[in-house]
């Protein structure tokens, strides 16, 4: 209960959930500061330095005095560079007027909901899902409707779930698509997107296509729904510099849609963050124009690390792991280990970090950090050097073999009991 002098929080703020990766990151950093060797596979961050052109371009912009306000929708040059990126990579013929700039891609979740969703509307989310979708839907007083992504279907969205949503929800208004998917690595194929477009085209249904891992597609190629006829008007596709260009701390991304939608998103940007700093945007222009080869080289390294980690995880008793079609996470099925030890997967993850060994630990995330459909899985990023990824897998194999230690941890942390 709040004290007599406290002001009560809103119902939304009181119930908001956060991104678990940052919570586990805080625990990992605390243990590291105490001398523990932690293999950090919890956070979805790039292990590489910022893309080569970023820092020189930002410094030059600051030296030139570009440290004041910028247009809310973004610098015209960055919007034009992003439009060219869409044309070059995905054949989407748009102009600068189809692009709005923001601080990464996450910001566009909130703006999309503000743009299209009213209280009481239904929003379809495929799950396991990125953990900030629910609070951004809740901000609008809307309802999140979930559809489970199955391992048997390579974690691809199934159109029967979309049909059910459109037919049965009392007020269907939006669909959230994340491809490649975080945490599962599932990728929507062109056939999936064509079928989706046929279901929603011409209806009062908006699609948020969250595409931060667009350059990390390992099976087939990345497809975006805005490339399909009529979808530019009904879809907002969001991209970020954080993953492909190793610029997570810069907080820079962009969204693409019809000019009408972009004008509204620009207005909402104006009323929320004002703008993204111009020197940050200059860095974005530089990497889009000059760092294609560097980006692709890093993507190959991500892929090589992921292939090896998946192989190593599949060698562990009780673990099976699909090779993800995209993104840079292994989504390992540990349901057998959870069942035998009567522990939830997030408890298993915290055991690996906190108590499997006094000197060493692995930081990763239990699948239920991404919704209850993720129970029985662990998400591990490849944001460590190859030798440390191999050592982390060997550590996990040894840690899972100590059922007595798992039981001891569970006794002290009963909240993780399965």
Residue 4 has pLDDT above 80, yes or no: no
Strand 320-321 relative to strand 253-256, pairing: unpaired
Indicate if 84 and 189 belong to the same structural domain: yes
pLDDT in tens, 239-290: 999 999 999 999 999 999 999 999 999 999 999 999 999 999 999 999 999 9
Task: Give me the pLDDT at residue 1, please.
Answer: 55
CA distance 162 to 225: 15
Indicate if 275 and 409 belong to the same structural domain: no
Average pLDDT score over residue span 16-24: 77
Task: Give me the pLDDT at residue 149, please.
Answer: 98
Residue pair 408/358 in contact by the 8 Å Cβ criterion:
no
pLDDT in tens, 98-112: 999 999 999 999 999
Indicate if 201 and 235 belong to the same structural domain: yes
Residues 6+ apart with CB under 8 A from 322: 151, 154, 155, 185, 310, 331
Residue 11 has pLDDT above 90, yes or no: no
Indicate if 174 and 81 belong to the same structural domain: yes
Strand partners, 177: 209
Indicate if 189 and 237 belong to the same structural domain: yes
Average pLDDT score over residue span 105-130: 97
Residue pair 57/283 in contact by the 8 Å Cβ criterion:
yes
Q: Where does a domain end: 246, 270, 291?
A: 291
Does residue 343 sit within a domain?
Answer: yes
Does residue 412 sit within a domain?
Answer: yes
SS (H, E, C) 152-208: HHCCCCCHHHHHHHHHHCCCEEEEEEECCCCCCCCCCCHHHHHHHHHHHCCCCCEEE
pLDDT in tens, 133-174: 999 999 999 999 999 999 999 999 999 999 999 999 999 999
pLDDT in tens, 282-292: 999 999 999 99
CA distance 277 to 139: 26
Task: Give me the pLDDT at residue 357, please.
Answer: 95
Residue 182 has pLDDT above 60, yes or no: yes
Angle at 394 between CA 389 and CA 396, to 5 degrees: 95
Task: Give this prediction's pTM.
Answer: 0.95
Task: Give me the pLDDT at residue 179, please.
Answer: 98
Residue 388 has pLDDT above 80, yes or no: yes
* CATH number of the domain bearing residue 194: 3.40.640.10
Q: How confident is the model at residue 2 (pLDDT cuts 50, 70, 90)?
A: low
Does residue 5 sit within a domain?
Answer: no
Q: Residue 93: give the domain boundaries.
A: 54-291
Residue 19 has pLDDT above 90, yes or no: no
pLDDT in tens, 316-372: 999 999 999 999 999 999 999 999 999 999 999 999 999 999 999 999 999 999 999
Residue 394 has pLDDT above 80, yes or no: yes
Indicate if 41 and 74 belong to the same structural domain: no
Structure tokens at 341: 């030890």
pLDDT in tens, 206-240: 999 999 999 999 999 999 999 999 999 999 999 99
Q: Kindly tell me the number of DSSP H helices and DSSP E strands found in the chain.
A: 16, 13
Q: Is the peptide bond before 336 cis (omega within 30 degrees of 0)?
A: no
Does residue 362 sit within a domain?
Answer: yes
Indicate if 165 and 233 belong to the same structural domain: yes
- B/e letters for 339-374, b = 16+ CB within 10 Å, e = fewer, are eebebbbbbbbbbbbbbbbeebbbbbbbbbbbbebb
Does residue 411 sit within a domain?
Answer: yes
Number of domains in the chain: 2
Q: Where does a domain end: 291, 316, 344?
A: 291
pLDDT in tens, 34-44: 999 999 999 88
Does residue 3 sit within a domain?
Answer: no
Does residue 120 sit within a domain?
Answer: yes
Q: Where does a domain end: 291, 319, 353?
A: 291
SS3 content of the chain, % helix, strand, coil (to 5): 45, 15, 40
Indicate if 101 and 233 belong to the same structural domain: yes
* CATH number of the domain bearing residue 348: 3.90.1150.10
């Amino acid at each position: 209960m709040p004290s007599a002098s406290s002001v009560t929080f809103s119902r939304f703020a009181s119930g908001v959930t956060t991104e678990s990766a940052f919570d586990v990151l805080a625990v990992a950093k605390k243990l590291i500061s105490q001398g523990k060797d932690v293999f950090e596979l919890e956070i979805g961050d790039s292990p590489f330095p910022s893309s080569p052109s970023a820092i020189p371009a930002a410094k030059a912009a600051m030296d030139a005095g570009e440290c004041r306000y910028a247009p809310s929708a973004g610098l015209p040059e960055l919007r034009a560079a992003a439009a060219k990126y869409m044309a070059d990579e995905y054949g989407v013929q748009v102009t600068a007027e189809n692009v709005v700039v923001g601080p990464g891609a996450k910001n566009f979740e909130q703006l999309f909901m503000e743009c299209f969703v009213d209280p009481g509307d239904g929003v379809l989310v495929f799950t396991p899902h990125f953990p900030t979708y629910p609070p951004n839907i809740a901000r609008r007083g809307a309802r999140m409707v979930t559809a489970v992504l199955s391992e048997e279907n390579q974690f691809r969205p199934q159109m029967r779930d979309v049909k059910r949503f459109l037919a049965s929800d009392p007020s269907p208004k939006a669909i959230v698509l994340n491809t490649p998917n975080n945490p599962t690595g599932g990728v929507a194929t062109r056939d999936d997107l064509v079928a989706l477009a046929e279901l929603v085209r011409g209806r009062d249904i908006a699609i948020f296509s969250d595409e931060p891992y667009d350059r990390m597609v390992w099976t087939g190629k990345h497809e975006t729904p805005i490339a399909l006829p009529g979808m530019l008007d009904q879809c907002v596709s969001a991209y970020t510099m954080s993953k492909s260009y190793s610029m997570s701390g810069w907080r820079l991304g962009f969204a693409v849609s019809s000019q009408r939608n972009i004008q509204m998103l620009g207005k909402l940007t104006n009323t929320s963050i004002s703008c993204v700093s111009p020197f940050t945007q200059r860095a974005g222009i530089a990497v889009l124009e000059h760092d294609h080869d560097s980006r692709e080289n890093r993507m190959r390294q991500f892929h090589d690390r992921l292939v090896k980690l998946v192989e190593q995880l599949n060698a562990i008793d009780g673990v099976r792991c699909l090779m993800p079609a995209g993104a840079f996470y292994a989504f390992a099925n540990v349901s057998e280990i959870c069942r035998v030890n009567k522990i939830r997967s997030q408890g298993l993850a915290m055991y690996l970090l906190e108590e499997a060994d006094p000197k060493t630990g692995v930081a990763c995330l239990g699948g239920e950090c991404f919704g209850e459909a993720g129970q029985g899985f662990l998400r591990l990023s490849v944001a460590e050097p190859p030798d440390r990824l191999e050592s982390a897998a060997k550590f996990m194999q040894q840690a899972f073999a100590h059922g007595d230690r798992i039981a001891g941890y569970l006794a002290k942390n009963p909240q993780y009991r399965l």
